[in-house]
């Protein structure tokens, strides 16, 4: 597979966006887990694990909003 310069630039920009999105997802998990998981540990999670944790976080946020209890 060969790419010309504009295609290479587009690929690199896409990979950069994906990398930043992954880092944001991992840092969100660390924050919501209140330090019970380190950034290094979060980096070792599989995509399935990250997806499950995100679902749990979302459910807990919804429960917090419905109950009216403070989140922090």
Per-residue model confidence (pLDDT) at position 69? 81
Per-residue model confidence (pLDDT) at position 2? 83
HEC profile of the chain: CCCCHHHHHHHHHHHHHHHHHHHHHHHHHHHHCCCCCCHHHHHCCCHHHHHHHHHHHHHHHHHHHHHCCCCC
Over the chain (72 residues), the average pLDDT of each successive run of 10 is 87 97 95 92 96 92 87 66
């Amino acid at each position: 597979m060969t790419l010309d310069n504009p295609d290479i630039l587009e690929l690199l920009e896409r990979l950069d966006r994906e990398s930043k999105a992954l880092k944001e997802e991992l840092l969100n998990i660390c924050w919501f887990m209140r330090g019970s998981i380190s950034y290094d540990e979060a980096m070792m999670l599989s995509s399935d694990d990250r997806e499950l944790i995100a679902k749990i976080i979302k459910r807990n946020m919804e429960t917090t909003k419905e109950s009216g209890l403070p989140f922090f």
